[in-house]
Amino acid sequence: MTDIFAKIDSGAELTRQDLVEMLSLPDGGQSQALFDRAYKTKLDYIGPKVFFRGLIEFSNICEKNCYYCGIRRDNKETARYVMTDGEIIRAALWANECKYGSIVLQSGERSDKNFIDGVERLVKDIKKGSKGVLGITLCVGEQTEETYRRWFDAGAHRYLLRIETSNPELYKKLHPADHFFEKRLECLRMLKKIGYQVGTGVMIGLPHQTVDDLAGDILFFRDMDIDMIGMGPYIVHEQTPLAAEFPDFTQAKEAQLNLGLKMIAATRILLKDVNIAATTALQALRDDGRELGLKAGANVIMPNITDVKYRDSYQLYQGKPCLNDSRECCKGCLQRRIESIGETIAFNEWGDPLHF
Ligand code: SAH
Ligand code: SF4
């Protein structure tokens, strides 16, 4: 480990093996040293600031059937919803009044005309309603180049599309045969070409996943020249095929959380100037999981501003926190949590990654 620290300090390029070593550190003192080192890098490049993105989970209707996800098409036990345009715009403008700087519109994947037109209209209305102030990120899955372009022209400037895992063989094990790794990769390339700030990420601690796969994920972010990273621990959802195969897979919460934190830290150390989110899945494993994410090198938090009545139905995984907390309540709670670790919220800033 001392060697790795010496190597980091010397500025030498870290290898896949170095990343594997970092990700394999035992929990406790050695992992903590890694988190501290990553936090220092974050302070050097970004300062003690956290950017907010108000997250609106506007629909759980999904055409896809990813084996791990609670809102997959074949889960008949989830009531399906679409928020009304009025509800979505009210949530967005609330974020604007709170000076959140930007929002994320996220949903299940759909490719019908109504959906495509609807997202375009919403982006335009939110841009107009906030007088161009609010930044808009979309996270609505794989689409055609034309659709991505229309939404970009309407005013969306960031797009999140997780590759889920950079190992094509593992991707195959986690998805039905008509979901393609290559297509997802092609989407990331299109988004970049169009001019979006592109975010991707992976699930951490999946069945069949090795530490070498995770090291490969970080190199994938680097090689794809990614601006924003949103990754989080995999958490079982009972009503999914992956849970049927591996029911107790995420029982060891501390270990699962620590692996997630090590991924954040190693990514920060290698990539330095990108935006990295401390995702809600960290908090599902431990109450202060997101704060730990910030202290391990993350610099973005996505407070959930979805209307409370829909939260129950948007459970990608089980144990999602804050199901009953209104957006007003989340704001106060998060502010206290962030101040408690000596960081400040960068209100009124889009918070573009330096990397971009
Ligand atoms: N439908 C869009 C966006 C919503 S899903 C898409 O798939 O891109 C957002 C993310 O939730 C996915 O990218 C996946 O990484 C994550 N997710 C789904 N099921 C999960 C689970 N069981 N545990 C942790 N993350 C999960
Ligand atoms: Fe749909 Fe996204 Fe869940 Fe896959 S991960 S089933 S695309 S919502």
Q: What is the mean pLDDT of residues 281-298?
A: 96
> Residues 261-278: what's their mean pLDDT?
97
Give the mean model confidence (pLDDT) for residues 242-257: 92
Q: Which atom of ligand 2 is nearest to the CA of 316?
A: 3
| Residue of 121, 216, 111, 112 whose CA lies nearest to 164 | 216
- Residues of the chain with pLDDT > 90: what percent? 87
In terms of pTM, does the model score above 0.95?
Answer: yes
Q: Using the 8-state DSSP alphabet, how is residue 195 labeled?
A: T
Distance (Å, rounded) from C-alpha 272 to C-alpha 9? 13
Instruction: Evaluate: CB of 68 within 6 angstroms of ligand 1.
Output: yes
pLDDT reported for residue 259? 97
Residues 159 and 119: beta-carbon distance below 8 Å: no
Assigned token pair, 195:
């001019």
Spacing of C-alpha 56 from chain mean position: 13
Cα radius of gyration rounded to whole Å, the chain: 19
Q: What is d(CA 53, CA 152) in angstroms, rounded to the nearest whole number?
A: 18
Per DSSP, the three-state class of 102 is strand
At 193 the pLDDT is 98
Nearest to 316 by CA among 270, 221, 268, 250: 250
The per-residue DSSP string of 290-328 comes to HHHHHHTT--EE--B-S-HHHHTT--SSTT-S-TT--HH
31, pLDDT greater than 90: yes
Q: How far is CA 245 from CA 67, 68, 252, in A?
A: 10, 10, 17
Q: What are the residues whose beta carbons fall under 8 Å from the beta carbon of 136, sequence distance 6 or more?
A: 102, 103, 105, 123, 126, 127, 155, 156, 157, 158
Q: What is the pLDDT of residue 2?
A: 60
Taking the C-alpha atoms of residue 107 and residue 29, their distance in angstroms, rounded to an integer, is: 39
Q: What separation in Å is there between the alpha carbon of 120 and the centre of ligand 2?
A: 20
Using a 6 Å cutoff on CB, does residue 108 contact ligand 2?
yes
Mean pLDDT value across residues 346-356: 86
Poorest-pLDDT segment among 118-132, 146-160, 308-322? 308-322
Residue 348 has pLDDT above 70, yes or no: yes
Closest ligand 1 atom to 233 CA: 24
Distance (Å, rounded) from C-alpha 202 to C-alpha 218?
Answer: 9
- 325: Cβ below 6 Å to ligand 1? no
- Tell me the average pLDDT of the chain: 95
Question: What pLDDT was estimated at residue 326?
Answer: 83
- The separation between the first and the last C-alpha atoms of the chain, rounded to the nearest angstrom, is 31
Find out whether the beta carbon of 187 lies less than 6 Å from any atom of ligand 2.
Answer: no
Least confident of 96-105, 168-177, 265-274, 317-326: 317-326
29 Cα to the center of ligand 1, angstroms: 31
Q: Which of 188, 190, 179, 185 is nearest to 160 (CA)?
A: 188
Ligand 1 center–CA 234 separation, angstroms: 9
Mutual angle of helices 85-97 and 327-340, in 10-degree steps: 30
- From the alpha carbon of 240, which atom of ligand 1 is closest? 22
Ligand 1 contacts CB of residue 316 (under 6 A): yes
126 lines ligand 2 (CB under 6 A): no
Q: Of 356 and 45, which is predicted with more confidence?
A: 45
Residue 234 near ligand 1, beta carbon < 6 Å: yes
Question: Is 90 exceeded by the pLDDT of residue 155?
Answer: yes
Q: Lowest-pLDDT range, 38-42, 260-264, 336-340, 351-355?
A: 351-355
Rounded distance between C-alpha atoms, residue 215 and residue 234, angstroms: 16
pLDDT at 332: 83
Of all ligands present, the nearest one to the C-alpha of 250 is 1
Q: List alpha helices for the chain, DSSP H.
A: 2-10, 16-23, 29-45, 85-97, 113-129, 145-154, 168-174, 181-194, 211-223, 241-245, 253-271, 280-285, 289-295, 308-311, 327-340
Question: How many A from CA of 12 to the centre of ligand 1?
Answer: 34
Distance from residue 60's CA to the centre of ligand 2 (Å): 9
141 pocket-lining for ligand 2 (C-beta < 6 Å): yes
Pocket test for ligand 2, best of 206, 316, 317 (most atoms within 8 A of CB): 316
Ligand 2 atom with the smallest distance to the CA of 72 is 6
pLDDT for 329 equals 74
Determine the Cα–Cα distance for residues 241 and 271; give it in Å rounded to an integer: 34
Ligand nearest to the CA of 260: 1
69: CA distance to ligand 1 center in Å?
6
